């Protein structure tokens, strides 16, 4: 058995890609190990969305320099978005790297590893750079890689991601994703359904559809157009699947039909992630997000009208080029008005290769970005806490994921230990439970709440009187 070590950063797409790569290498006789020192092959699945994410990978690569010098036979590979963006530059910064593979070429990893083992030297497999070919060529060079599934690589065996779309064509000016992941392409509905059925066979109960703008999903076949709502209806019928989620939504494509589908399908989670990014029209325009603040409010009204119990989360970038204090205060107002379940807040990081990097100056000082980040987070946390407290005394239905982080940290030995799971609206719940609850839907009575967590207790089960069949006389 060859030993494989893999480290993954970035978004859910990368988590899924790592699952696929591990599954394909298992077929080639690899097994996972816990450290680079024990490994024959070391892979980094990387992210380029902010500079910090890239610097961390280069720092981790630097730590392997010695190891590689003393064990030249170990293979070091860089895959994912930074591999696509930096390509051969990776070798300049880390000459001892053997392999660079973009997210659209992952299917080649087994073959490239064999070539390196046969003495073929450094290998690079990346997709075409946008504008470096015909649309169709570029599209084909970004292949979706979803051949095999590996339940052991998932956060839990009963929850899985399912890619319905690759790439992005929105070109928000700050964002590198359209360059690293290529043109937006929807996967065929039949392929998605077959994969959902396979996941159900593996015991998966919850499927999360993935796409950079998942609700823009469109697949055209002759005169038949399939949308996200159609996919939800299709997969809803798959026996064994109990919950359906989808991330990330593009605010402009949150249609009435999609929301009605979320409302009408009982297995559909009422959690929506629809990043606003900013509460200022001037900033949204420079970001080229394609909507105004009032469009965003109209979307929120639509959500609340059609799916009153929905919980919405958002992403924000603070300190984008030219963001004034007034712009920022408008973002604070938007958060206060929308009362998101939670917000992911990021400081703007210039990405070479984006329109934002050439058009605008990164003119908000770092300390101002930090302050705005903290201020917005404090506003959001207060809202999360207040809204979570509204759950006190209520029963929620939880899909049990397993022992909580705290239980693992405390090294509690099962089966009685603190358990965790999520509600249908994606709130995290913990309670004193039993390991055997994992994978089940359970009713939990909430008795306390913080901004991130609901604390509860499992209700005592109603005891059904035994029905004894009397012998017929
Ligand atoms: N496809 C998703 C998110 C992609 S990246 C969407 O469109 O919503 C995840 C988040 O990272 C974004 O929502 C944005 O808030 C943040 N982000 C993207 N580029 C960034 C940059 N250059 N600097 C800081 N944050 C960034
Ligand atoms: Fe990036 Fe915008 Fe595409 Fe999201 S929609 S991946 S932020 S370009
Ligand atoms: Fe990062 Fe690529 Fe995802 S840049 S956020 S890993 S799509």
Q: Where are the domains of the chain?
A: 2-138, 154-269, 276-387, 395-459
> pLDDT band for position 468 (50/70/90)?
low
**Cβ atoms of residues 420 and 437 within 8 Å:** no
- Predicted confidence at residue 103, as pLDDT, reads 96
Q: Does residue 293 contact residue 334 with C-beta atoms inside 8 Å?
A: yes
Strand partners, 431: 419, 456
Q: Are 324 and 363 in contact (CB under 8 A)?
A: no
**Per the structure block, which two tokens stand in for 96?**
């001892």
Q: How far apart are CA 156 and CA 379, in angstroms?
A: 32
Q: What angle do CA 144, 145, 149 make, to 5 degrees?
A: 135
Take residue 312 and report the two structure tokens written for it.
């919405």
Predicted pLDDT of residue 141: 86
Instruction: From 238, 239, 301, 247, select the one nearest 269 (Cα to Cα).
Output: 247
Residue 141 beta carbon below 6 angstroms from any ligand 1 atom: no
CA of 356 to the centre of ligand 1 (A): 13
Please tell us whether the domain made up of 276-387 is placed in CATH 3.30.750.200: yes
- Dig out the tokens for 290 from the structure: 């394609």
pLDDT score, position 86: 97
How many angstroms does the Cα of residue 178 sit away from the middle of ligand 2? 7
Does 181 sit in the ligand 1 pocket, CB within 6 Å? no
Average pLDDT for 1-11: 96
Reply yes or no on whether the pLDDT at 260 is more than 80.
yes
Fold of 154-269: Transcription Regulator spoIIAA (3.30.750)
Backbone angles phi, psi at 375, to 5 degrees: -65, -45
Assigned CATH topology for domain 2-138:
Rossmann fold (3.40.50)
* Distance linking the first and last C-alpha atoms of the chain: 66
- Which of 33, 263, 21 minimizes the C-alpha distance to 125? 21
Q: Is 424 helix (H, G, I), strand (E, B) or coil?
A: coil
Q: Is 2 helix (H, G, I), strand (E, B) or coil?
A: strand
Does residue 242 contact residue 279 with C-beta atoms inside 8 Å?
no
Residue nearest to atom 24 of ligand 1 (CA): 348
DSSP state of 11: S
Percent of the chain at pLDDT above 90?
89
- Whether residue 49 contacts residue 16, with contact meaning beta carbons closer than 8 Å, is answered with no
* Helix (H) or strand (E) segment spanning residue 272: strand 271-273
Pick the CATH number of 395-459 from 2.20.25.240, 3.90.550.10, 2.40.50.140, 3.40.980.10: 2.40.50.140
**What is the whole-number distance in angstroms between the Cα of residue 174 and the centre of ligand 1?**
8
pLDDT digits (tens, 9 = 90+) for 160-214: 999 999 999 999 999 999 999 999 999 999 999 999 999 999 999 999 999 999 9
pTM, two decimals, is 0.94
What region, left, alpha or beta, does residue 277 occupy, with left being phi > 0 and alpha being psi -120 to 50 degrees? left
36 CA to middle of ligand 2, Å?
33
Q: Is the CB of 178 under 6 A from ligand 2?
A: yes
Whether the domain at 2-138 and the domain at 395-459 fall into the same CATH topology:
no
In whole angstroms, what separates CA 222 from the centre of its chain? 32
Alpha helix stretches (DSSP H) within 107-255: 109-117, 135-141, 177-181, 189-201, 228-236
């Amino acid at each position: 058995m060859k030993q494989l070590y893999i480290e993954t950063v970035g978004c859910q797409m990368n988590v899924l890609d790592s699952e696929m790569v591990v599954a394909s290498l298992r077929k080639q006789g690899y097994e996972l190990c816990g450290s680079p020192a024990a490994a024959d092959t070391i892979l980094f699945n990387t992210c380029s969305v902010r500079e910090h994410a890239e610097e961390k990978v280069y720092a981790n690569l630097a730590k392997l320099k010695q190891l590689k010098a003393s064990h030249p036979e170990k293979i070091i590979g860089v895959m994912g978005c930074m591999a696509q963006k930096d390509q051969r530059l990776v070798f300049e910064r880390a000459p001892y790297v053997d392999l660079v593979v973009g997210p659209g070429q992952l299917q080649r990893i087994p073959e490239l590893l064999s070539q390196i083992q046969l003495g073929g030297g450094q290998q690079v497999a990346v997709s075409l750079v946008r504008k470096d070919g015909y649309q169709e060529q570029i599209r084909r060079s970004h292949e979706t890689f979803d051949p095999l599934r590996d339940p052991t690589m998932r956060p839990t065996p009963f929850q899985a991601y399912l890619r319905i779309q690759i790439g992005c064509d929105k070109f928000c000016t700050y964002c590198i994703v359209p360059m690293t992941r290529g043109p937006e392409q929807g996967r065929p509905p039949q392929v998605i359904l077959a994969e959902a059925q396979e996941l159900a066979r593996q015991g998966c109960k919850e499927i999360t559809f993935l796409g950079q703008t998942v609700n823009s999903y469109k697949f055209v076949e002759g005169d038949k157009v399939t949308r996200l709502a159609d996919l939800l209806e299709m997969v809803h019928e798959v026996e064994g699947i109990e919950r359906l989620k989808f991330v990330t939504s593009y605010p402009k494509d949150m249609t009435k039909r999609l929301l009605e589908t979320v409302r009408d399908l009982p297995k559909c989670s009422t959690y929506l992630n629809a990043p606003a990014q900013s509460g200022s029209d001037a900033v949204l325009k420079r970001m080229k997000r394609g909507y105004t603040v009032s469009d965003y409010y109209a979307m929120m009204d639509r959500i609340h009208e059609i799916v009153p119990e929905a919980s919405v989360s958002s992403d924000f970038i603070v300190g984008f080029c030219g963001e004034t204090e007034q712009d920022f205060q408008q973002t604070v107002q938007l958060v206060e008005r929308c009362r998101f379940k939670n917000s992911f807040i990021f400081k703007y990081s210039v990405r070479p290769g984006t329109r934002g990097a050439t058009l605008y100056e990164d003119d908000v000082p770092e300390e101002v970005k930090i302050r705005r980040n903290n201020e917005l987070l404090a506003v959001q946390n207060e809202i999360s806490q207040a809204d979570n407290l509204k759950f006190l005394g209520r029963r929620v239905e939880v899909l049990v994921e397993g022992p909580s982080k705290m239980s693992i940290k405390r090294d509690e030995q099962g089966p009685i230990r603190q358990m965790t799971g999520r509600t249908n609206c994606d709130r995290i719940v913990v309670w004193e439970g039993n390991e055997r609850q994992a994978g089940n839907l359970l009713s939990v009575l909430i008795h306390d709440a913080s901004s991130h967590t609901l604390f509860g207790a499992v209700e005592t089960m109603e005891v059904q009187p035994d029905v004894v069949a009397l012998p017929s006389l």
